Amino acid sequence: MAGSAAVIVDDSLVSRLDQKLLRLEQVLALVSGLAVFSLMVMAVVSVGGRSAFNAPLPGYVDWIEQAMPLIAFMGIAYVQRDGGHIRMDILIGSLRGRALWLFELFSVVLILALMLLLVWGSWSHFSRSFDFAAPLWSRDSSIDIGIPLWPAKLLAPIAFSVLCLRLVLQVWAYGRAFVLGLENPAAVPLIQDAAAQAAHEAEVLSGHDDDTASGASGRNAQE
């Protein structure tokens, strides 16, 4: 199952590359979130138009289809970086040291191999849809209002390629941890146990309470 994870940052090259890639992943995750918000707005407009003017938003289903790759794929590299994907911790939770890093390395290599195949397949799917000689550069379009489908199909290989970059960094980091026998390597999610998660949440809440108390004290002093 997915758990709370911490990613250590240090001065190593792999950690610096991790921070640079994280900026791109955060932008893609933000785009994904904006796509979800846009679908909410479109739903309100479509339902409101149907109820008030008997005129729903034209091509509502078509726009949903276009937004699906944004919602489904754009944030996967960011989630992989933070260890948020579904995983089974029963076995690896009992591993420590080099045995743990070897198991993580093996699993990430398998994921990377799968994602490379998906990049190849999704790019082939996009190339069948894209054509410079066709109207709007598209060989196919949505059924209702004729939106070209190639932009949505292009998003899949882009998102998968970013995920492959993340996986390559994690292969490097896990391999480095295995060779050097590191206890807490950088640039990989270190899954926290229940006690560590509780301590972190308590620390965050304590900091929030302290900030709230400081703000209240400042307002009282001004009054």
DSSP line for 2-46: ---EEEB--SSHHHHHHHHHHHHHHHHHHHHHHHHHHHHHHHHHH
pLDDT at 186: 93
pTM: 0.82
Confidence (pLDDT) at 212: 46
Using left for φ > 0, alpha for ψ between -120 and 50, and beta otherwise, residue 207 falls in: alpha
Q: Tell me the H-state helices in 93-222.
A: 97-129, 150-180, 194-222
pLDDT of 6: 81
Q: What is the pLDDT of residue 5?
A: 66
DSSP strand pairing (189-191 vs 5-7): antiparallel
- Is residue 174 within 8 A of residue 108, CB to CB? The reply is yes
Residue/partner pairs of 131-138 with CB below 8 Å, 24 or more apart: none
pLDDT score of 144: 85
Residue type, 220: N
The pLDDT of residue 210: 54
What's the pLDDT score for residue 191?
73
Instruction: Pick out the chain residues at pLDDT < 50.
Output: 1, 3, 212-213, 216-221, 223
Number of neighbours of residue 185 by Cβ within 10 angstroms = 25
